[in-house]
Structure 1
């Protein structure tokens, strides 16, 4: 099946699309650094670099040329998620009426050129991937002045009654991904077989295969399952912070203060809850950190959490800010400087996963954050043919690697969804997919 990929980033999400049996003819990405990684890994795909608003005709022309008279099946679009908001229609409308129209995040409008390209491409199916908040995000209506419309409603309105939709917030851990990552997958189609399946079954999504208790067949794949056997690292010195035998199995160093906080943090706990380490005291009932919503519904961390032991007065190994000889607790939520659990999928890997202060990103027991290689494994990139290289020959930076992982979806999860969709579109038996998925998952888990 023929596809094009919009907002393709470095192509990590495309790994699942390709392994599921789709030939990606054309891709578009705004940022050249990310496009260089894509071009190295997928040289047969025409990569068009630049603003999708300006590149619409170029994308369509390149697609038409690559098709050579054949039909396009699918458009895969993953517009930026940073602008998606939980704010309701009423609040945004109020801002627009006040003349604050620039308060609308321009990135949310990128769905408009994506819709235009899809409509003009002739493809029968559009798949959009984004954060769950997309389902409730509203934007100014492109054709009705001073009116707002929900993004999903706009897509349905633009596509018309010939299209049916199947939309779900997917937890990728439920498809065997060793990471808890929830994304909104929105499928719009006029394919006869896919529409018929929606009418008969109500959904185009494959059955989930994993759950916390194993009720669905298998238990979640855990952090320990994936990285538990890797060589130990320690962020205290250059000698202990990397492993020469495994590329990218390295971590940034922690300064003396951060290492003090992290090294005293128990399993599955946050450094904000650390107790007294004074050997003459050892009081372990100091008030722990907490957070609650204020009158405006905004989650605020407690300002009452002590930084000194409530029994002996010694400084606790909790994240602090020091001014001369004065210490105060660093502002942060209960999930900051917190260790992951061995016995659960990893928390969502954001582009900040190499920072100790990021949510739930400390190693389950070692004094450090996740290594780049561990992130590659937990994101299921390992197990697919992908090189961390650029076509222009420049060295790929650690920062770019973190961005490519943090802003993409684990390919193993997309592989399951796209494989199921491809077989349904051809009215083929989907029962054999479970064996294929198990094989790919096993490959991802044994690449150590």
Structure 2
């Protein structure tokens, strides 16, 4: 069977690339506009070269030259999800600079006609015309398309995240592999981060600079001490509740200032999951928000995954962005396995 060789557009720190490599796919290159992702991408994904370029400026002819001869070409493009997210619905997304990125991806497919294509995004992407134009363009060019919402815990991710995944093939019929886990054996927060060294708020593990927890104000320390795993701020005494939560408009927002549960998958890991007040990101037991390392591991990055050089300072915002924007590694691996299985049966 021929080898699958991939180019990863919008590659970020390499979540999808790492998963594809673990599945047996060769990844030759990744493209992203965030130069800060270069070290993480190349250090952890040997053989894959990072290109700090805007996908909208790329040409299919130039990309085609990066593939080794004789391989089955995969073009992966997990465009930034912000324009399609429910969090964006209050914005004028038609004018969002990220809105045309899926069209740019589609244009590159038109120019290159790779044998395989994959795209991953938030489930709400299917509500937008650009997505349906993308699918129609693939079908018009003879691709067989499989596209559905994937619940990540079904594929070994300790995170209650749902993503829309599309895989397409010019070689033959294609479909996603069956779930690898049932609800009774979903991977949990405890399974994933339960053995990491204990931390106080504002403390860093001396052996791992990424295992670092943000500090807490005196008020938030009182709040988290009152919080129970899986609970909400409704459990707090009145004097600890935020002013916005006292209003009727704020009473439904219960998944902030909350702890995760040990024996369930975590909530969706976002770019600000290191902040206690940004979601259900309180550690199940320790009085702090989860560390950057814990967030990365819940995104199924290996514990050893390096996001910055050892000599570089760790900044919560920049590394939190790399982690939260990444395709979970385990999802990337499931995508790779699905592609490999499909071509082997064609």
**Secondary structure at 2:192's aligned position in 1?**
helix
Larger radius of gyration: 1
- 1:222 aligns with 188
Q: Post-superposition shift, 1:72? A: 4.3
Partner of 2:217: 255
**What do residues 338-365 of structure 1 show as CA deviations (whole Å, max 9, x unaligned)?**
1111110011110110111122111112
Contact 1:390–1:396 (Cα < 8 Å) also in 2: no
Contact 2:10 2:78 in 1 (8 A): yes
Query: Relative to 1, partners in 2 of residues 1:416 and 1:158: Cα closer, same or farther, differing over 3 Å?
Result: closer
1:387 and 2:306 equivalent?
A: yes
Q: Tell me the alpha carbon deviations over residues 114-146 of structure 1, each in whole angstroms, 9 at most, x when there is no partner.
A: 11212222311110010001111124xxxxxxx
Highest RCO, 1 vs 2 (Cα 8 Å, sep ≥ 6): 2
TM-aligned CA deviation for residue 366 of structure 1: 1.8
2:141 is aligned with 1:133: no
**SS of match in other structure, 2:257:** coil
Counterpart check, 1:400 vs 2:318: yes
Structure 2: which 5+ runs fail to align? none
- The answer to whether structure 1 residue 106 and structure 2 residue 97 are counterparts is yes
Checking the alignment, whether the CA contact within 8 Å between 1:119 and 1:159 is kept in structure 2 is no
- Bigger share in helix: 2
Gaps of 5+ in 1: 140-150, 199-203, 276-306, 308-315, 322-326, 429-448
Check whether the contact 1:340–1:346 (CA below 8 A) recurs between aligned residues: yes
10 and 158 in structure 1: CA distance in 2 versus 1, 3 angstrom threshold: same
Match of 2:77 in 1: 77
* Residue 242 (1) aligns with residue 243 (2): no
On the 8 A contact 1:261/1:319 being kept in 2, the answer is no
Once the 2 structures are TM-superposed, how far is the Cα of residue 328 of structure 1 from its aligned partner?
6.7
Residue deviations 1:245-266 (CA, integer Å, cap 9, x gap): 4442221110111111111122
1:314-329 equivalences under 5 Å are 316-320=239-243
Q: Could you say which residue in structure 1 is the equivalent of 2:62?
A: 61
Contact 2:13 2:307 in 1 (8 A): no
Superposition CA RMSD, Å: 2.9
Alpha-carbon contact 2:212-2:293 (below 8 Å) kept:
yes
Distance change >3 Å, CA 180–CA 273, structure 1 → 2: same
**Deviation readout 1:225-282 (Å, 9 max, x if unpaired):** 22223333232xx5xx33324442221110111111111122321234313xxxxxxx
Secondary structure of 1:357's match?
helix
- The answer (yes or no) to whether the contact 1:273–1:318 under 8 Å persists in 2 is no
- Partner of 1:108, secondary structure, is coil
The count of corresponding residues between Structure 1 and Structure 2 is 340
Q: Which runs of 4+ in 1 moved over 6 A?
A: 327-330
With over 3 angstroms needed to count, the CA separation of the structure-2 counterparts of 1:262 and 1:160, relative to structure 1, is same
Q: Distance in 2 between matches of 1:413 and 1:406?
A: 14
Do the aligned partners of 1:167 and 1:186 also contact (CA within 8 Å) in 2?
Answer: yes
CA distance in 2, matches of 1:206, 1:48: 31
From 116, 125, 150, the equivalent of 2:107 is: 116
Q: Alpha carbons of 1:42 and 1:395: their partners in 2 closer, same or farther (altered >3 Å)?
A: farther
- Asked if structure 2 preserves the Cα contact closer than 8 Å seen for 1:10 and 1:404, the reply is yes
224 and 39 in structure 1: CA distance in 2 versus 1, 3 angstrom threshold: closer
The answer to whether the 8 A contact 1:340-1:363 is kept is yes
Which residue does the alignment assign to 1:210?
Answer: 181
How high is the TM-score relative to the length of structure 2? 0.88
Match for residue 337 of structure 1 among 257, 260, 267: 257
Which of 3, 13, 30 is 2:33 aligned to?
Answer: 30
